[in-house]
Structure 1
Amino acid sequence: MTVRSAWLLPGGTAPGQTREDTRLAPVGTMTPAGELTTRQGIIPGGNPFAATGAGAMSLQVGIGRAAVQGTLAQGAYPVAVDAPEVVTFADGSAQFARIDTVCLRVYDGLFDTSGQTLARIEVVPGTASETPTAPALDPASLPLWDVRVPAGASAGVGGIDWSSALTDRRTYTVAVGGIVPRGALSDVGAYDGQYADVDGVLYRWSTAANQWTLYRPPAPAVEETTTGLTVTAGWALNSFRARRDGRAVSATVYVKRTGGALTANPNLEDVLLCTLPAGWRPPDDTEAIASDGWGSGAARVEADGQIYLRTWSPGMSIDTNANLRLTVGFIQ
């Protein structure tokens, strides 16, 4: 047996559900879609139900596991395909192309008119049309691949071009609380707080908004400090404040000149003002704005936290008792 389903066959033991059926079928994977329904889909892991051309008009569908939802009364069927299955397509129509759907189908004679009790991979043919669309599927059918069958396609004239004929219809499901991989924003979420990975971006289902909303992690707490700065001889600290919001750090240093006057001739270079506290320093050397209220200059903030006056307006001076304010911002 290559297509197995648990909780489908009657009898309990042979000819009903075997131990292998129970071990292989994903009986614990249930993401609710309603009070008594389950989100149907493929169980992630590897490349389940992969499709590869097996002949001019034949397709091989690989192994995999899935949960297939029937009607409300039926419930969900756990299914496992433990060996590749090959399906064959009818020749194309003479005039128009059509789209056939390869699906995982569960037949349950207690709920449908098939008279069968089995699961299988099958082809549901579409209607040839100038603008073909995929066919509608019966309950308890999980679409896997759409195949475009060109007009006139047959084994005798080259068949189906498998490099361009396939459209991936596989959807995924996980256990409740898990993140659904490769979801789509058009899918309807099952419950408030459900998560889905859409093209590598995390979304959260909002029942109130009835839509998927981009997940934004909680913003880190804003940190502030007014201590830890050390000033160099010849300067006194008026005030210091630093703020970290995420990785963005900004700091304001307000100092007073207590030593002799400093004159720019033409620049002030290597005048060490102060040192930022550990944890509040840039990863690389950066620039800062410096001003005494009358003229503006620049300062250099080094990775070790030391701040140096770098330039000043030629001829300007920083007199004794003059105040100097510096502002700096960087990403840690």
Structure 2
Amino acid sequence: MPVDVWAIDGLAFSGLETRNADSVFVMGNGSALGSRSGVRPGDPGLTVTLAGTTINCSAGVALVAYPGQGVYRAAFPSSVSPGTYTAAHATLTRIDLVYLRVWDSSVDSTGLYKGDIVYLAGTPSASPVAPTPAGTQIYVPLATITVLSVAAGSTATVSTVVRPFTVAPGGILPASSAPTGLYVGQYYDDGTGLLRWNGTNWRQISPYTPLYQPQVSQPSSFTPGTYTDFPSGNWPTLTFTVPPSGLVWISIGASLQNTNSATSTGWVTWRASGGVTEASSEANGLSTYGSRNYGTRRVLRSWTPGASVTLTPQYLFSSVGALSTVTRADNGLLAVEPVATA
């Protein structure tokens, strides 16, 4: 069926035709003619603040998409106030919503054609959640306001976490979760690094920064016969988050010596605790046998993505002699190298 193509002289364009044509300039959402609503990254506009109980929203621009209606471009040249927030409940906390709404009577049958900033009070609850605007509303959330109960002090705080960002097609989207409308070569930044969609999964592009914890000193003495934690003052622990790939290289190295006898052994190892548990063993340690060993042991681990793991350096000597000249574990280094998603 023929359509009016933007922009050809002599043609008349409806608002819907114009909004649909504008969709080509906006990041898609995975549906035909669909777009992603939001404000521009790095734009301080449309920031919600409080002055006492009065809600204010600064000047700014946003894009509001609605299924089958293309994209509405809204610009507020000056600050706007949707009023004051509702008084605190006596004993329960409440979460309110502030959002940018577009009234288009051809869609919502309100008889209105305008844009505005709207305040919507939530429901007080022991486990409060932000409200969702009812009915057919064309909107994009800008902020939530958490209002503590009177018993808790009646204070109110603003959060802009709910406010989405949008970018032009091919732009790098800053977002806490992956965007929709995936295509090979798409990028987004989850706050910890840049990721690229390869057609199957998101691959970490920005190189991870290795984490390391050097040994500070040797203990005043070594306890023989069992795996023993280095005192934190001698060799601190190392805590990290397992990357999305679940893979990490872990290295431990030291100047290791045990010449107390021809068969005396010495180990430096690590144990894992927290979101993952692994004990010290031959599988993750560096050893010496009646001599000296200046080296590093590097192992690959596959653990739960997102788990917080603490590595604690340990030692094991079968017997001990004079510190440093006979039995020694110093100049140590414990390091973690996260592996990017393949």
Q: Indicate the structure (1 or 2) with the bigger Cα radius of gyration.
A: 1
Normalising by the residue count of structure 2, what TM-score does the alignment of the two structures yield? 0.48
